[in-house]
């Protein structure tokens, strides 16, 4: 059973503790300057599949991060900055490849659980990418969308922190994007996996931040 490790009561203290244990973080934050107008918000896989309690893939801590994700979405909308949503699902009849062998079953885009969860501030006019691998860059036009919009910075929120969020963040870095990984707006199925992901990403790929850090920067941009 997946672990309910992030709650409304502990999310702030837990993420503060995690960040305080990340070596080199303060040093790296001084080397980079977040520029909102060059950024896009990437909301990864906040689907019913993970947020619906009736789903076998339900991630309890994902419910806790919805408020933070929506607050960042609202500020990006207000400032008319790009917001990109992803959802993970195969087309009906499509071969799942190694991921199918790994997990045993794969979500299809005909399944109602593949839809973005109604708790998320999402509308059909938003940029939406269907992905079929952990990374949102594989087999999609995400990179071209970002280049067309002259984006060089990504703010990543969503689930799973250690799988799709981490894989996307790593590939973004390898493509020369500056990546801000929002610690209290990402979740995994177990705390150990979330913390492990943050440690690895902090060492070589992303700048871990809290929701309030991003909100303050975007509001100042106004």
Write down the pTM of the prediction.
0.97
Whether residue 160 is preceded by a cis peptide bond, meaning omega within 30 degrees of 0, is: yes
Q: Give the model confidence (pLDDT) of 120-163 as tens digits.
A: 999 988 999 999 999 999 999 999 999 999 999 999 999 999 99
CATH architecture type of domain 11-221:
3-Layer(aba) Sandwich (3.40)
Domain ranges of the chain: 11-221
Q: Give the model confidence (pLDDT) of 21-64 as tens digits.
A: 998 777 888 889 999 999 999 999 999 999 999 999 999 999 99
Q: Give the model confidence (pLDDT) of 96-113 as tens digits.
A: 899 888 998 899 999 999
* Most confident segment among 12-26, 85-99, 164-178: 164-178
pLDDT band of 222, cuts 50, 70, 90: low
Question: Which residue has tokens 């990374």?
Answer: 135
Cα–Cα distance for residue pair 218/118, rounded to 1 Å:
25
Cα–Cα distance for residue pair 56/113, rounded to 1 Å:
11
For residue 46, the model assigns a pLDDT of: 98
- In terms of phi and psi (left: phi > 0; alpha: psi -120 to 50; beta: otherwise), the region of 80 is left
For residue 77, the model assigns a pLDDT of: 96
Residue 192 has pLDDT above 90, yes or no: yes
Mean pLDDT of 88-101: 91
Cα–Cα distance for residue pair 186/105, rounded to 1 Å:
24
- Of residues 2, 3, 39, the one with CA closest to residue 209: 39
Q: Tell me what percent of the residues of the chain surpass a pLDDT of 90.
A: 87
Mean pLDDT of the chain: 95
Q: For the purposes of burial, counting CB atoms within 10 Å of the CB of 53, is it exposed (0-12), middle (13-18) or buried (19 or more)? A: exposed
Residue 211 has pLDDT above 70, yes or no: yes
Q: Which residues have a Cβ under 8 Å from the Cβ of 84 and sit 6 or more positions away?
A: 40, 41, 42, 43, 126, 127, 128, 129, 142, 145
Pairing, β 153-159 against β 39-44? parallel
């Amino acid at each position: 059973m997946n672990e309910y490790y992030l709650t409304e009561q502990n999310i702030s203290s837990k993420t503060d503790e995690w960040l305080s244990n990340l070596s080199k973080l303060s040093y790296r934050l001084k080397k980079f300057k977040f520029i909102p107008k060059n950024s896009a918000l990437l909301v990864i896989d906040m689907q019913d599949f993970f947020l619906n309690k009736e789903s076998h893939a339900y991630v309890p801590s994902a419910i806790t991060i919805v408020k933070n994700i929506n607050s960042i979405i609202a500020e990006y909308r207000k400032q008319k900055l790009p917001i990109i949503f992803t959802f993970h699902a195969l087309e009906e009849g499509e071969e799942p490849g190694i991921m199918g062998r790994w997990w045993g079953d794969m979500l299809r885009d005909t399944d109602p659980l593949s839809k973005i969860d109604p708790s998320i501030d999402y509308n059909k006019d938003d940029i939406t990418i269907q992905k079929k691998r952990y990374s949102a860059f594989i087999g999609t036009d995400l990179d071209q969308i970002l280049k067309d919009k002259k984006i060089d910075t990504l703010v990543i929120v969503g689930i799973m922190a250690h799988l799709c969020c981490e894989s996307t963040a790593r590939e973004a870095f390898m493509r020369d994007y500056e990546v801000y990984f929002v610690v209290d707006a990402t979740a995994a199925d177990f705390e150990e996996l979330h913390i492990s992901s943050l440690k690895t990403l902090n060492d070589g790929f992303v700048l871990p931040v809290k929701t309030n850090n991003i909100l303050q920067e975007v509001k100042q941009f106004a």
